[in-house]
Structure 1
Amino acid sequence: MDTFRWISTVFSMILGLGVARLLASAVAVFRARRRAILDWVPMAWALFIFLQQLAFWWSMEELATAMRSWTFPNFLLIVALVLALFLAAALVLPPAEIEEGTNLRRHFEADGRWALIPIAAFNALAILANALFWNMDVLTLAEALNFALCLLPLIAFASPRPIQIAATLLYIPLGLYAFAELLPSHY
Structure 2
Amino acid sequence: METFGHIRMVMGFILSLSIAHLLKGTVKFVQHPGREKPYWIHLSWVFYIFILLVHFWWWEIPLHVIKRWTFPEYIFFVFFIVNFFVLCALLYPDDLKDYNGYQDYFFSRRKWFFGVLAFSFVADVIDTLLKGPEYLQHLGVEYPIRNILHLVLCLLAIRVSNRTFHGVLVIAFIVYEMSYILRLYLAAG
TM range (shorter): 0.7 to 0.9
Deviation at 1:18, TM superposition (A): 0.9
Residues 57-113 of structure 1 deviation map (CA, whole Å, 9 limit, x = unaligned): 123221012x111012221221122011110011113436x78x9522112112366
Other structure's SS at 2:68 match: coil
Structure 1 residues 52-61 or 105-114, which shifts more? 105-114
Deviation at 1:45, TM superposition (A): 1.0
Q: Distance in 1 between matches of 2:37 and 2:22?
A: 19
Other structure's SS at 2:121 match: helix
Q: Which residue of structure 1 lines up, in the alignment, with residue 39 of structure 2?
A: 39
Checking the alignment, whether the CA contact within 8 Å between 1:153 and 1:168 is kept in structure 2 is: no
Checking the alignment, whether the CA contact within 8 Å between 2:62 and 2:131 is kept in structure 1 is: no
Other structure's SS at 1:69 match: coil
Q: Distance in 2 between matches of 1:184 and 1:53?
A: 18
Checking the alignment, whether the CA contact within 8 Å between 2:110 and 2:158 is kept in structure 1 is: no
Q: Which residue of structure 2 lines up, in the alignment, with residue 125 of structure 1?
A: 123
Structure 1 residues 111-120 or 7-16, which shifts more? 111-120
Partner AA of 1:169 in structure 2: I
When residues 35 and 178 of structure 1 are mapped into structure 2, their CA distance, relative to the original with a 3 A threshold, is: same
- Give the share of equivalent positions with the same residue, in percent: 22
Deviation at 1:32, TM superposition (A): 4.3
Deviation at 1:53, TM superposition (A): 1.1
Note if 1:110 corresponds to 2:108.
yes
Q: Which residue of structure 2 lines up, in the alignment, with residue 76 of structure 1?
A: 75
When residues 172 and 59 of structure 1 are mapped into structure 2, their CA distance, relative to the original with a 3 A threshold, is: closer
Deviation at 1:34, TM superposition (A): 4.4
When residues 173 and 78 of structure 1 are mapped into structure 2, their CA distance, relative to the original with a 3 A threshold, is: same
User: Which segments of 5 or more consecutive residues in structure 1 lack a partner in the other structure?
Assistant: none
Partner AA of 1:85 in structure 2: F
Checking the alignment, whether the CA contact within 8 Å between 1:38 and 1:104 is kept in structure 2 is: yes
Other structure's SS at 1:157 match: helix
Checking the alignment, whether the CA contact within 8 Å between 1:89 and 1:115 is kept in structure 2 is: no
Other structure's SS at 2:94 match: coil
TM-score when scaled to structure 1?
Answer: 0.83
Q: Distance in 2 between matches of 1:70 and 1:134?
A: 13
Give the root-mean-square deviation of aligned CA atoms.
Answer: 2.8
Pick from 176, 179, 183 the counterpart of residue 181 of structure 1.
183
Q: Which residue of structure 1 lines up, in the alignment, with residue 94 of structure 2?
A: 95
TM-score when scaled to structure 2?
Answer: 0.82
